[in-house]
A and B are shown apart, each in its own frame.
Chain A
Amino acid sequence: MRLTRLPANIVVGSVLIGVVVFGALLSFVWLPYDPNTLDFSAQLAGPSRAHWLGTDHLGRDLLSRLLVGARGTLYVGLVAVGIALSVGCTLGAVAGFAGGLLDELLMRIVDVLYAFPAILMALLLAAVYRPGTLTAMSAIGIATVPVFARLMRSSVLSLKGRDFVEAARALGSSPSRTLLRTILPSALSPIVVQASLSLAVAVLAEAALSFLGLGTPPRTPSWGNMLREAQSFLALSPYPALVPGLAIVTTVLGWSLLGDGLRDLLDPNTRR
């Protein structure tokens, strides 16, 4: 496939995510300022030579905080979707392949999880454990399990009766081998697409949880935290609210464009 034939949304999505990943990596080797250094001579300053994106209410450099925040956004999103993908796909594949009572039981669990969206799950977990990055990540991950479980189950169900699966069985392939080696590779592309789309949702959820004070702890710069703190000073300077907000939009848009593009690429039937 030639590069020029790639759908436009894949290209734009990859560039947007590339920028965020670059920012996160850059923060490890270079930052204009320490993201937690207070500077009371430059509170709520607009963009300038010294502070390219301005400063917040404590005079902290917004660009530095933005770059460090990119790490958390990527980290929480990837781990949460990783949890959802591994647990969800396992549940879905086993349910679809086994059928019968086990299928009924597993899907009932999935139905219950479906009643708890990420925010609700985070509220429940925050009551039990302390609010924090781990709680937020687990909540988003568990809440996303049903998406992958249902997707995987329906893929496995539709593939189970196909000729090439029957053939593998007839050749003496064990059930687990049939599932892992024959069915799974064919079921993979919708999962990849869903993973990218779920990353977009996870980034939004993480930002919302940090904004509510249920995510990344206040001392660590994160985009949601930055917005939470910016709200009180909205009338004095718009930059502390504009900067992290635009960063969230960029990341969410990147993941969702990438997901849509991958779907167009992997499944020509849905191309519209």
Chain B
Amino acid sequence: MLFYLIRRFLSALVTIFLASALVFVAILAVPGDPAEIILGINASPQALAALREQLGLNEPAWRRYLSWLGGVVRGDFGESLNYQRPVATLIVDRLEVSVPLALGAMFVACVIALPVGIVAALSRGRWLDPLLTSLAQLGAAVPSFWLGLMLILLFSVELGWLPAAGYVPWERDPVATLRSLALPVLALGLGQAAVMTRMTRAAMIEVLSQDYVRTASAKGLPRRRVVGGHALRNALVTLVTIFGLSLSQLLIGSIIIEQVFSLPGLGRLVLTAIGTRDFPLLQGEILVYASAIVLLSFLVDVSYGLLDPRIRYQ
């Protein structure tokens, strides 16, 4: 198991390293002089020279990459050009919005997807399964940002229950924070619930058709014990994978949802960075997103190995 863990971890590290190179090379490929792009063509030669010095543009690319990477390893992503603050601080500050958003959406998705998916799998061949499956298929086709607009229309415009946009920090008024996060969490979570319902159903059906489930039923165990004890436990292996991958999807989905609800999270930060051509911030944030995805997939593999001994001995 330890060997498996180490091998998987090293492979994740290599992937993150290559991803960092990709991000760096992509920004390097920006046509023209970055200093001129940032300051505009009317900038004075002195200002341009100063910025080139600040960005380290006078050094060769590989050297800049190594010094950037060296900083990243120590948690130093450089300084944002637009905010004049360390990129790492900016990112950490925004986590208070983006993390509750993603986790809240995950919670909503699980609370819906697990029971509905299991019920659909158990009622296979009866009227309930096709109904639930069709609903899930329809739900998966609804873009989260459009669902967000529809929720605003219903709960803010028509009913006036919840704010349509904006964010109140936790320390000022936690209830207001929760109210401002409610619709974004729903918009993001409901779509993911539809996707996860289908996957939960498929995983349960797969397990229910196994021999050991038939054996459990044949030896007279009550249905509840068969489903809860034998089937669900084994389906968990697949479900952990699904939930891990869903978390990366929610992370990316939150970029769009934050835009819909004007939430000052990581997603808004990265979009602002594009608009203001804030390359250090952009580089840092995209690398953080990509690394989070690689690490999540690593964690999924690890839990997979922990839950299913057959995998780690392969």
Q: Is the CB of A234 within 8 A of B30?
A: no
Q: Report how far A200 CA is from B274 CA in the complex, Å.
A: 27
Q: Is the CB of B26 within 8 A of A234?
A: no
Q: Is the CB of A200 within 8 A of B18?
A: no
As a 0/1 sequence over residues 112 to 152 of chain A, the CB contacts with chain B under 8 angstroms (1 = contact) are: 10111101100111111001000000000000000000000
Once A115-B294, A119-B255, A123-B270 are accepted as A-B contacts, the answer to whether A241 and B14 lie under 8 Å apart by CB is no
Q: In angstroms, how far is the closest chain A Cβ from the Cβ of B159?
A: 13
Q: Is the CB of A208 within 8 A of B30?
A: no
Q: Is the CB of B286 within 8 A of A123?
A: yes
Q: Is the CB of A245 within 8 A of B149?
A: yes
Which residue of the partner chain A has the closest CB to B29?
A: A128
Q: Is the CB of B286 within 8 A of A120?
A: yes
Q: Is the CB of A111 within 8 A of B141?
A: no
Q: Report how far A207 CA is from B271 CA in the complex, Å.
A: 16
Q: Is the CB of A253 within 8 A of B279?
A: no
Q: Report how far A211 CA is from B261 CA in the complex, Å.
A: 13
User: Which residues of chain B from 130 to 146 have any CB-CB distance to chain A below 8 Å in the complex?
Assistant: 137-138, 140-143, 145-146
Q: Is the CB of B270 within 8 A of A249?
A: no
A177 part of interface (Cβ distance < 8 Å): no
Q: Is the CB of B256 within 8 A of A112?
A: no
As a 0/1 sequence over residues 139 to 166 of chain B, the CB contacts with chain A under 8 angstroms (1 = contact) are: 0111101100110110001000000100
Q: In angstroms, how far is the closest chain A Cβ from the Cβ of B184?
A: 14
Which size class do A's interface residues fall under? Answer: 35 or more
Q: Is the CB of B290 within 8 A of A115?
A: yes
Which residues of the partner chain A approach B270 to less than 8 Å between Cβ atoms? 123
Which residues of the partner chain A approach B31 to less than 8 Å between Cβ atoms? 128
B282 part of interface (Cβ distance < 8 Å): yes
Q: In angstroms, how far is the closest chain A Cβ from the Cβ of B242?
A: 16
Q: Is the CB of A128 within 8 A of B30?
A: yes
Name B256's contact: one of A125, A208, A231, A235 (CB within 8 Å): A208
Q: Is the CB of B146 within 8 A of A248?
A: yes
Q: Is the CB of B282 within 8 A of A127?
A: yes
B23 part of interface (Cβ distance < 8 Å): yes
As a 0/1 sequence over residues 227 to 256 of chain B, the CB contacts with chain A under 8 angstroms (1 = contact) are: 000000000000000000000110010011
As a 0/1 sequence over residues 236 to 253 of chain A, the CB contacts with chain B under 8 angstroms (1 = contact) are: 001001000100110011
User: Which residues of chain B from 264 to 314 have any CB-CB distance to chain A below 8 Å in the complex?
Assistant: 270-271, 273-274, 277, 279, 282, 286, 289-291, 293-294, 297
Q: Report how far A120 CA is from B142 CA in the complex, Å.
A: 20
Q: Is the CB of B149 within 8 A of A234?
A: yes
Once A115-B15, A115-B19, A235-B157 are accepted as A-B contacts, the answer to whether A127 and B274 lie under 8 Å apart by CB is yes
A108 part of interface (Cβ distance < 8 Å): yes
As a 0/1 sequence over residues 97 to 121 of chain A, the CB contacts with chain B under 8 angstroms (1 = contact) are: 0000000000011011011110110
Q: Is the CB of A127 within 8 A of B290?
A: no
Name A115's contact: one of B141, B202, B282, B293 (CB within 8 Å): B293
Q: Is the CB of A124 within 8 A of B286?
A: yes
Which residues of the partner chain B approach A117 to less than 8 Å between Cβ atoms? 248-249, 252, 293
Q: Is the CB of A256 within 8 A of B141?
A: yes
Q: Is the CB of A108 within 8 A of B143?
A: no
Among B11, B164, B279, B286, chain A packs the most CB atoms within 10 A around the CB of B286
Among A115, A123, A200, chain B packs the most CB atoms within 10 A around the CB of A115
Q: Report how far A111 CA is from B124 CA in the complex, Å.
A: 36
Q: Is the CB of A253 within 8 A of B141?
A: yes
A257 part of interface (Cβ distance < 8 Å): yes
B221 part of interface (Cβ distance < 8 Å): no
B22 part of interface (Cβ distance < 8 Å): yes
Q: In angstroms, how far is the closest chain A Cβ from the Cβ of B93?
A: 20
Which residue of the partner chain A has the closest CB to B255?
A: A119
A230 part of interface (Cβ distance < 8 Å): yes
Q: In angstroms, how far is the closest chain B Cβ from the Cβ of A35?
A: 20
Q: In angstroms, how far is the closest chain B Cβ from the Cβ of A264?
A: 13
Q: In angstroms, how far is the closest chain A Cβ from the Cβ of B269?
A: 11
Q: Is the CB of B26 within 8 A of A124?
A: yes
Among B138, B143, B157, B286, chain A packs the most CB atoms within 10 A around the CB of B143
Which residues of the partner chain A approach B282 to less than 8 Å between Cβ atoms? 123, 127
Q: Is the CB of B137 within 8 A of A120?
A: no
B205 part of interface (Cβ distance < 8 Å): yes
Q: In angstroms, how far is the closest chain B Cβ from the Cβ of A78?
A: 18
A227 part of interface (Cβ distance < 8 Å): yes
Q: Is the CB of B293 within 8 A of A234?
A: no
Other than the known A127-B26, A212-B271, A231-B260, what 10 A-B pairs have Cβ atoms closer than 8 Å? A114-B293, A115-B19, A119-B256, A120-B289, A123-B270, A212-B255, A234-B157, A249-B138, A252-B140, A252-B142
A and B contact pairs by CB, cutoff 8 A, 17 listed: A111-B11, A111-B18, A115-B15, A115-B293, A124-B26, A124-B286, A127-B274, A128-B30, A131-B274, A204-B143, A207-B143, A234-B152, A234-B164, A241-B150, A245-B150, A248-B141, A249-B141
Residues of B within 8 A of A (CB): 11, 14-16, 18-19, 22-23, 26-27, 29-31, 124, 137-138, 140-143, 145-146, 149-150, 152-153, 157, 164, 202, 205, 248-249, 252, 255-256, 259-260, 270-271, 273-274, 277, 279, 282, 286, 289-291, 293-294, 297
Closest CB pairs A-B (n = 9) = A252-B141, A253-B141, A245-B146, A115-B290, A112-B18, A235-B157, A115-B293, A117-B252, A111-B15
